[in-house]
């Protein structure tokens, strides 16, 4: 007689971002749960998301979710603060898979620390406009004060590998405001920003900053386990897709993760 073990679900987990930034999250997922099957989608055609409107981002995410639906994934990870802030609420109940938004998950997890009362957030313009970080942290702790700072140059510096820019102006220019607020912690509220940590740490101590990727990955895996969606018995796999210039994606990916295949091109 055939037996069915409902703690094993071999369907893949979709992970998405505008480019290579979400690999900071995939890297943590692979370290917490290497036996899962992952499909990473880098939407390089529409990068940078931070300059787009909420309406544009909802349309873009819909297309990526349709791609994941065709792949029959069990969950999709928004490894992207900007789409968590703009598209998640609109789309969260419309697809046959679980959706994990970065900001909401991380705020829930971090709010267990009731001593956290002054928080800084560095993020994209589109994220800051929605004030999602402030709203989500205040949900759990109304006394918390949050300052959100947009850093429109930071994603282009990472994805275009820019070198010809005034570093003090581009890095400290955005940090100054936040440091003056004297926060206990500063969240790197865009998955591309950890790449800039060496530069950022010239102006403020490294320990002040939180890369939320690790917290987020733990949150996702714990939740998958609770929902009997985890797959810990198979040998894991990762497949990559990009919406333009896959060779460039593979090259840039090295900043965060060595990937052993060139992504397949998918038109969305």
Catalytic-residue membership of 151 = no
Nearer to ligand DGL, 18 or 28 (CB): 18
Tell which one of 37, 81, 134, 231 touches ligand DGL (CB under 6 A).
81
Q: Does 141 bind ligand DGL (CB under 6 A)?
A: no
Q: How far is the CB of 174 from ligand DGL (least distance, A)?
A: 14
Catalytic residue among 190, 210, 221, 224: 190
Q: How far is the CB of 189 from ligand DGL (least distance, A)?
A: 7
Total residues at the site for ligand DGL (CB under 6 A)? Answer: 16
Q: Using CB under 6 A as the criterion, what x/- string covers residues 179-198 for binding ligand DGL?
A: -----------xxx------
Q: Using CB under 6 A as the criterion, what x/- string covers residues 86-125 for binding ligand DGL?
A: --------------------------------------x-
Cα–Cα distance measured from residue 205 to residue 69, given in angstroms and rounded to the nearest whole number: 43
Cα–Cα distance measured from residue 223 to residue 217, given in angstroms and rounded to the nearest whole number: 10
Tell which one of 28, 37, 44, 82 touches ligand DGL (CB under 6 A).
82
Q: How far is the CB of 243 from ligand DGL (least distance, A)?
A: 12
Tell which one of 12, 13, 16, 18 touches ligand DGL (CB under 6 A).
18
C-alpha closest to that of 104 among 73, 130, 135? 135
Catalytic residue among 15, 16, 77, 80: 80
Give CA 257 to chain center in angstroms.
Answer: 15
Q: How many CA atoms lie within 13 A of 227 on its CB side?
A: 13
Q: How far is the CB of 64 from ligand DGL (least distance, A)?
A: 13
Question: Of 43-51, 59-67, 216-224, 257-265, which part binds ligand DGL (CB under 6 A)?
Answer: 43-51
The phi-psi region of residue 101 (left if phi > 0; otherwise alpha if psi is between -120 and 50; otherwise beta) is: beta
Q: How far is the CB of 9 from ligand DGL (least distance, A)?
A: 27
Catalytic-residue membership of 190 = yes
Q: Which residues bind ligand DGL (CB under 6 A)?
A: 17-18, 21, 47-50, 80-82, 124, 127, 155, 190-192
Catalytic residues: 80, 190
């Amino acid at each position: 007689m055939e037996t069915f073990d409902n703690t094993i679900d071999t369907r893949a987990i979709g992970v998405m971002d505008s480019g290579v930034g979400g690999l900071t999250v995939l890297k943590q997922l692979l370290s917490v749960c290497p036996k899962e099957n992952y499909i990473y989608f880098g939407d390089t055609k529409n990068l940078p998301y931070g300059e787009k409107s909420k309406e544009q981002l909802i349309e873009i995410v819909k297309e990526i979710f349709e791609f994941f639906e065709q792949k029959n994934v069990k969950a999709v990870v928004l490894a992207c603060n900007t789409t968590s802030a703009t598209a998640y609420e609109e789309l969260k109940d419309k697809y046959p898979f679980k959706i994990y938004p970065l900001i909401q998950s991380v705020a829930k997890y971090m709010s267990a620390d009731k001593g956290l009362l002054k928080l800084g957030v560095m993020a994209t313009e589109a994220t800051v406009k929605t004030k999602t970080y402030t709203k989500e942290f205040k949900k759990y702790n109304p006394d918390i004060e949050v300052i959100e700072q947009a850093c429109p140059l930071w994603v282009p510096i990472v994805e275009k590998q820019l070198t010809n820019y005034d570093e003090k102006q581009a890095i400290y220019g955005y940090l100054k405001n936040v440091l003056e607020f004297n926060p206990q912690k500063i969240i790197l509220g865009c998955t591309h920003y950890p790449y800039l940590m060496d530069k950022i740490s010239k102006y403020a101590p490294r320990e002040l900053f939180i890369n939320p990727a690790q917290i987020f990955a733990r949150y996702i895996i714990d939740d998958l386990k609770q929902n009997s969606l985890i797959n810990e018995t198979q040998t894991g796999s990762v497949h990559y897709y990009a919406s333009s210039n896959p060779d460039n994606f593979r090259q840039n990916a090295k900043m965060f993760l060595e990937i052993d295949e060139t992504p397949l091109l998918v038109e969305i």
